[in-house]
């Protein structure tokens, strides 16, 4: 990822070269992109901007915990076939995190192409957990690298950009290697604009749980579109979301929120 030093863009160096403050964990937020493009990313493109509120929700959920939240940026906008461009960027970022913070839990949370990259990079020895939001997981996407990792995948029923069906097929394959929590977001779209607060709560509660924190006190991340109809508009308090992000396949193949 684009960076002027050993840490990825958006990272904060520990306080002091010798007396670094204790870090409870690191959460990396990975943005989306395109199937093919070598055009450089920029901070104002929609895929990058989309992750600002996600990162803010995660930071808020982890406040006071000693965890660090990073929102780096890929070098180029595309996946680019066998190059899998963002995967190399993420691996470089993970190497930098390990060198800087040592053996701390590292959680990857990605959207769309960033989710695919995060799931691919989850085999890095620093990674303990990974979440994919509205992920791009085409048929044949490898899953063996997820062994021993905690995994969550969430996809909206109204997504017309990436395929929910391919996501659920990937979940079945991944469950051969590890436990996977699968969440179906009713009426959720690809940009995560519909029921945005629910998407943010899923990311935040997964991050909290993955770094070993207790759930947030209940709030109501209801959708602004239709708060009077919680069955379709997504009124779900944080306690329900916190419960959902810990559901394993043996308990329920897919949670619907």
Q: Give the chain's domains with CATH numbers.
A: 25-256 (3.40.50.1820)
- Is residue 251 over pLDDT 80? no
Q: Cα separation of 2 and 51, whole Å?
A: 17
| Between 223 and 211, residue with greater pLDDT | 211
CB-CB contact of 119 with 130 (8 Å): yes
For 110, half-sphere exposure in the C-beta direction (CA atoms, 13 angstrom radius) is 28
DSSP 121-189: HTTSTTEEEEEEES----TT---GGGTTSEEEEEEETT-SSS-HHHHHHHHHHHTTTS-EEEEEETT--
Q: Report CA torsion sign: 127, 123, 94, 135.
A: negative
- For residue range 110-142, what is the model confidence (pLDDT) as tens digits? 999 999 999 999 999 999 999 999 999 999 999
Question: What DSSP letter does each residue of 73-139 carry, written as one string?
Answer: --SBSB--GGG-HHHHHHHHHHHHHHHHH-S--EEEEEETHHHHHHHHHTTSTTEEEEEEES----T
Q: Percentage helix, strand, coil, to 5, in the chain?
A: 35, 15, 50
If phi > 0 it is left, if psi is from -120 to 50 it is alpha, else beta; for residue 66 that is: left
pLDDT score, position 17:
35
With 0-12 / 13-18 / 19 or more C-beta atoms within 10 angstroms meaning exposed / middle / buried, residue 249 is middle
Q: Is the pLDDT of residue 14 over 70?
A: no
Q: Indicate the pTM of the whole model.
A: 0.86
Average pLDDT for 144-153? 97
Q: Which two structure tokens, joined as six digits, stand for 12?
A: 């904060």
**Is 72:96 a contact under the CB 8 Å cutoff?**
no
Residue 38, classified by CB atoms within 10 Å of its CB into exposed (0-12), middle (13-18) or buried (19+), is exposed
Q: Identify the weakest region by mean pLDDT among 32-36, 58-62, 87-91, 245-249.
A: 245-249
The pLDDT value recorded for residue 93 is 97
Distance CA(109)–CA(243), nearest Å, equals 18
What pLDDT, in 10s, does the model give residues 53-109? 999 999 999 999 999 999 999 999 999 999 999 999 999 999 999 999 999 999 999
Query: How does pLDDT run across 153-202, given as a tens digit for each residue?
Result: 999 999 999 999 999 999 999 999 999 999 999 999 999 999 999 999 99
């Amino acid at each position: 990822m684009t960076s002027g030093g050993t840490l990825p863009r958006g990272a904060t160096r520990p306080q002091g070269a010798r007396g670094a403050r204790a870090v409870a964990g690191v959460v990396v937020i990975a943005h989306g992109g395109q199937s093919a493009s070598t055009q450089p990313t920029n901070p104002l493109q929609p895929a990058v901007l989309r992750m600002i509120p996600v990162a803010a929700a995660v930071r808020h959920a982890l406040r006071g915990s000693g965890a660090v939240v990073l929102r780096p940026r890929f070098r180029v906008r595309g996946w680019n076939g066998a190059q899998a461009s963002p995967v190399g960027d993420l691996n470089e970022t993970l190497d930098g995190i390990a060198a800087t913070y040592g053996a701390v839990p590292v959680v990857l949370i990605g959207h769309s192409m960033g989710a695919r990259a995060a799931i691919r990079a989850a085999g890095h020895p620093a990674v303990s957990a990974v979440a994919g939001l509205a992920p791009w997981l085409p048929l044949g996407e490898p899953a063996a690298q997820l062994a021993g990792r905690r995994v969550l995948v969430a996809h909206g029923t109204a997504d017309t950009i990436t395929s929910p069906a391919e996501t659920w097929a990937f979940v079945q394959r991944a469950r051969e290697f590890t436990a996977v929590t699968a969440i179906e977001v009713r009426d959720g779209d690809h940009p995560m604009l519909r029921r945005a607060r629910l998407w943010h709560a899923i990311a935040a509660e997964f991050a909290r749980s993955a770094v070993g924190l207790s759930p947030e006190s209940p709030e109501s991340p209801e959708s602004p579109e239709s708060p009077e109809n919680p069955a379709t508009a997504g009124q779900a308090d944080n306690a329900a979301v916190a419960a959902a992000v810990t559901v394993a396949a043996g308990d329920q193949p897919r949670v619907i929120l």
